[in-house]
Structure 1
Amino acid sequence: MEGGLLLLSSVIFLLQGACGCPETCFCHSSSNFVDCSHQGLAEIPPDLPPEMLTLLLQDNQIHHLPALAFRTVPRLKTLNLSNNSLSELAPEAFHGLQHLQILNLTHNSLLSLERRLFHSLPQLREFAVSSNNISHLPKSLGETWENLTVLAVQQNQLQHLSRELLESMPRVRLLLLQNNLWKCNCHLLGLKLWLEMFIYEGGITDGVICESPDTWKGKDLLKIPHELYQPCPPLPPPEWVSSQAHRPGSEHGEAPKPPEDHSQSQHHVAECEAKPKPRPANLRHAVATVAITGVVCGIVCLTMLGAAIYGFTYAAITAQGHGRPSAQTCQPGKPGEKEPLSSLPA
């Protein structure tokens, strides 16, 4: 009898603990809403009600999320972790949150996000990770986020964003991207093309403002003409890299040199900045040829003009030489010759 009472007391105690509310939180049992904000928490409270749907943990001092951090609240739909000190997330931190729809990680100290973080969030609709120090996002998630409609990544350190990642979000309608370190080179051409289609289909975005290179700094990515971008040259195939690693020269620490047809590609991958097309070499040669031809033609024309003046002068002198004998017949005659009739007295 005493054993049965003890067992019953233990069950009642566990139920009270499971259905209770953490001392530092405020719980709304009717709406399954738990507010643990502004409490100076350094970790997730361990005794959260399992039936809750909304958990507010903003404005605390949480630095790390361990694996299975929310295993006791599998029904959670809204999670707010903004304005904490999060710098590290375990790959399985959100494991078990199959029904989570809104995740807010803004104003933290995150440097990157692993693709494994999102494998257990198939119902996610709104994801905000703005105002962090994120320098890159996964190129792909491995799975399609069919339900995601809002993605906010503004105010980070992003330079590029994979088009493949965006294409895994077919229903996104609001995309916030401003205030990043966007590098508007050939690697951002895919994002430009995707954004043009996104806006054409009714999507809303705050735009991408180039931070580098200096040619495009402060310019809107969508206003840079397509013609100024060229697709990035492909990297050397892995087979070539592995073959270079086994060459004798590589054993002595010598850096392998790519073949001639890839040397330019390697240079352009590192420095494929979008800039105005240079004037072709043949055009420069053509301009130089025209200039030289003009100078030569001018000299020839001056020579011909000089020859013409000389010819006219020579002709005039010759004409004067031939006219002198006829002029002498009009002079007074020699003695013994008859005077002209005009000189006789009347």
Structure 2
Amino acid sequence: MKVVLVCALLSLLSLSHACPKECSCNSNTKVVDCRGRGLYDIPKRLHPETQELYLQDNRIRGLGSMAFREIPLVRILDLSNNSITTVSPTALLGLRALQRLSLAYNSLRELDKRLLGPIRTLSHLDLSHNSLWGLPGALGDSLRNLSHLGLSHNKLTRLDRSLLEVLTHLDSLTLRSNPWRCDCQLIGLKLWLETYIYKGGVLDEVMCTQPEEMKNTDLQKVPYQLFHVCMTTSYHYLFANIHHLENERLLRGHTHGNHAHPSSHAIHVPMAMGEGFGGGGGGGGGGLPECEPKQRHRPVNLRHAIATVIITGVVCGIVCLMMLAAAVYGCAYAAIMAKYQRELKKNEELATAQKADHATADEKEPLENAIA
């Protein structure tokens, strides 16, 4: 009797986790293939040991909260070429082993910063061919292990540099076919891309659509002279440039440590605020400086660099005020001395005139006495 009950329980358990009728399953590879089945929702009764789930080419319109709670071990999740417009911030909750996620060819307008929060293993993220206007900066905290990021064919006009800076393992990045606005706010992206390419990263293109004079020009080839106005209108460039130079010093120090020739990679680096936009083009223009520093490179602390710049500005301001005060004092002193000299000369002339009058009066007195 007990044996029958155990068998019944096992059969019920196996039935509860049977392969969904809309899909084909491989128990050996733990792959569930539901491609092109006209699905409007995520299939039910997925086996909890599923590691790969393919749902592309269906009609799924949204992902609800904990939509994949039945398959916590899934490593590859492909949802491309559906009609997804909304994704719950907790849709991927529980997928702590997820490595590859594709949401390409959908209708996404935005992503919640909490979507990828619990996932730390993601290495491949494809968001291309959507309608994304931007990405939340906090999203980068979940993408630290990312090696590929696809953002092509969206509606991005700019991309937050702080999001990209945390992607230290990124090898491949696609940004083509976005309406990039190449203004002062994109200078940070240009500087980051130069460092990224210098380190061997793969990039397709960042083609400008605005302003008109840069239309159909790759951001990497836009000369720094066209961003010259940014130096005097925004401090963002200053801080971005300091951080960029810090990264370059670290990179060059690492390169010399491995005995690599500095001319093997071409990159243009603006060396200072006064000459940062004096040279040529984008990511491939100009070589590294020929003069090598004699001392060993030491990492530069960004906060210390910014503090140094601020202190230098304050000192220069004080010096300028002192020079202005000295100039005002000098002018006032010169005016007072000139006035004093004029009055002194006038007094001397008056004294001379009085002496002459007295002399004339003395000469007339003897003459009048003689006549009398």
Q: TM-score range by the shorter chain?
A: 0.5 to 0.7
Matches within 5 A, 1:190-201: 190-201=188-199
What does 1:1-346 correspond to in 2, within 5 Å?
8=6, 11-141=9-139, 143-229=141-227, 230=230, 233=234
- C-alpha displacement at 1:143, in angstroms? 2.0
Counterpart CA distance in 2 for 1:190 and 1:140 is 17
Residue pair 1:101, 1:125 contacting (<8 A) in 2 also: yes
Give the superposition deviation at 1:146: 2.8
Q: Which moved more, 1:37-46 or 1:10-19?
A: 10-19
Q: Which amino acid aligns with 1:129?
A: L
- Structure number with larger C-alpha Rg: 1
Deviation string 1:48-104 (CA, Å, 9 cap, x unpaired) is 111111000000000010010001101100011000000000001011110010101
Q: Unpaired runs of 5+ in structure 2?
A: 237-372
How far, CA to CA, are the matches of 1:142 and 1:105 in structure 2?
Answer: 17
User: Conserved in 2, the CA contact under 8 Å of 1:33 and 1:52?
Assistant: yes
Q: CA deviation at 1:22?
A: 0.3
Q: Is the 8 A contact 1:144 1:168 kept in 2?
A: no
Q: Cα RMSD over matched residues?
A: 2.0
Question: What is the CA deviation profile of residues 153-202 of structure 1, one whole-angstrom value per residue up to 9, with x for unaligned ones?
Answer: 10000001000110121100100000001011111111100000000000
One-letter identity of the residue aligned with 1:128 = D
CA contact (8 A) 2:32 2:50 kept: yes
Shift of 1:7: 5.8
| Residue 9 (structure 1) shift | 6.0
Is there any run of 5+ residues in structure 1 with no aligned partner, and where?
236-346
Partners of 1:14 and 1:221 lie apart in 2 by: 60
Q: Could you tell me how far apart the structure 1 residues matched to 2:194 and 2:223 are?
A: 12
Contact 1:140-1:162 at 8 Å conserved across structures: no
**8 A Cα contact 1:139 1:161, kept in partner:** no
Deviations 1:105-130 (A, max 9, x none): 11000001111011122100000010
Q: Comparing both structures, which one devotes a greater share of its residues to helix?
A: 2
The normalised TM-score by structure 2 is 0.60
Partner of 2:318: none
